[in-house]
Structure 1
């Protein structure tokens, strides 16, 4: 993800809905997030009627518009019933869902989407709209998944690779602060990536391990300094699968926050391999924080 927000201060909350049950759950989750941030919830339905006008009749277009407005009204009603004091506004957009959400979030909003849209084929897979929103966003994106597994844990998990993840760690600390919970900074060292498949000297491995720990401790020290009232735990693990460790760690968290690294693609931006795995298989909602394009813009 290219671009970045200017600070970790939480912005407005924008949620996309399409009439599916995952979108409804995402809207309720987003409402709780907006309540924590003490800001209104903005519910968006991107109908893409502008893109269909050449091949749909006027009657069909009106049907699409009516269905979209009904989705917005039903979602707003469900949110208001659950959060009666929360300011809620709705937006029916004639544009497609992805540009509608990006535009509504502006420079500092947070976009929330469900883990599967109306056209999804598996409850484990993130829909194409969600993937495009996450890959192209310049503001934080939260994919809501893994929320049917019981009570909150009171823990926010942040994936940290090096000092370039300081900004995403700040966002995670802010989320932990809003929840009055703790923050776990987790660095996963892929030893095969670091030393290769060829046998190496033990001293080399120890040196690399020390360098990895230093990166993590540097981020941890800064977060403790900036968020003195938040309990911060710093952990490092070695594994041949970074994504596997993070998926397992997400079982003990209410939210997983990570830098939204992006790989170059022939058809536009795509999520890196680890990020892609997490948004499909994490056991809790995943928040992707945009990165400067020059800071590890691709993910190996």
Structure 2
């Protein structure tokens, strides 16, 4: 990925609204995140009036813009009630939602989007705008997931595969520090992927397991050194489903932080099989950290 953020500071927060309840929830969550970071919040409503101009009347365009302004004002007012000290700006965009959000985040840091949340099975799934933002972002993206009302777990969870995930672990450590929470570094490895399907290679499982744990230990030791006041737990699990273990672990976390896809392909440059599953099914908000071009590839 281009332009992964390796700064020691978490950036400001950008959130998109569209009048839906999931977007409103995402905006309130984003406000809390911005307050924790002591950074401003930027609320975007993408009216797409440029795209409508070819077939809509001037009156229709003005109604759309008026509705957008009212939504932005209402959202900002609701946030001000909960976070009166927070600096909030709003933007009525003329373009489509995805480029409007990514353009704003290029200057302001982290994008927050809501899950679809329409009820029933569809409530598990991420909407098309959120999916496109997550797939193509070059700045961190947080997908707000999980139940509306849930007691805080006091844990930030980070998915760690190897030393290339040190930047991901740093992001998670900063989030945990802001929340005064503990950090859990979780490494999940698939023995079948590691040894292939040749039965005779299973003799090497213990050796492979030791190598897998060493990757996690290296990252954990570095994080403990850089964040001496943070409680860090490092655990490794063997499973046939990396995504399944992470979804289950997300039930006991306030935020799951993981790196985007390391190689191009699948759904955009960020979403692979594992990350795609997590943004649809995780039980807590998921923060995706873009990777650098040239990092060698897993399926995440």
Q: TM-score, normalised by structure 1?
A: 0.94
Partner of 1:207: 207
Summarize the Cα distance change of 1:269–1:223 in structure 2 as closer, same or farther, 3 Å threshold.
closer
Summarize the Cα distance change of 1:215–1:151 in structure 2 as closer, same or farther, 3 Å threshold.
same
Query: Equivalents in 2 of 1:149, 1:224: separation in Å?
Result: 32
Partner of 1:162: 162
- Structure 1 stretch 153-162 or stretch 269-278: which is displaced more? 269-278
- Equivalent residue of 2:183, what SS? strand
Summarize the Cα distance change of 1:265–1:60 in structure 2 as closer, same or farther, 3 Å threshold.
farther
Shift of 1:6: 3.0
Is 1:228 the equivalent of 2:228? yes
Q: TM-score, normalised by structure 2?
A: 0.94
Shift of 1:287: 0.2
- Equivalent residue of 1:15, what SS? strand
User: C-alpha offsets along residues 71-127 of structure 1, whole Å, 9 cap, x if unaligned?
Assistant: 111111111112122121111110111111111112561110001289x98211101
User: Which structure 1 residue ranges, 5 or more long, are not aligned?
Assistant: none
Shift of 1:200: 3.0
Q: How many residues align?
A: 299
Query: Equivalents in 2 of 1:251, 1:87: separation in Å?
Result: 32
- Equivalent residue of 1:200, what SS? helix
Query: Equivalents in 2 of 1:271, 1:102: separation in Å?
Result: 16
User: C-alpha offsets along residues 11-66 of structure 1, whole Å, 9 cap, x if unaligned?
Assistant: 10111111100000001101111110111111111111112211211111111111
Partner of 1:187: 187
- Runs of 4+ in structure 1 deviating by more than 6 angstroms, as ranges, are none
User: Which structure 2 residue ranges, 5 or more long, are not aligned?
Assistant: none
- Structure 1 stretch 50-59 or stretch 275-284: which is displaced more? 50-59
Summarize the Cα distance change of 1:103–1:58 in structure 2 as closer, same or farther, 3 Å threshold.
same
Alpha-carbon RMSD across the aligned residues, in angstroms, is 2.0
Asked if structure 2 preserves the Cα contact closer than 8 Å seen for 1:12 and 1:109, the reply is: yes
Is 1:9 the equivalent of 2:38? no
Query: Equivalents in 1 of 2:156, 2:213: separation in Å?
Result: 20
Asked if structure 2 preserves the Cα contact closer than 8 Å seen for 1:262 and 1:271, the reply is: no
Asked if structure 2 preserves the Cα contact closer than 8 Å seen for 1:8 and 1:167, the reply is: no
Partner of 1:294: 294
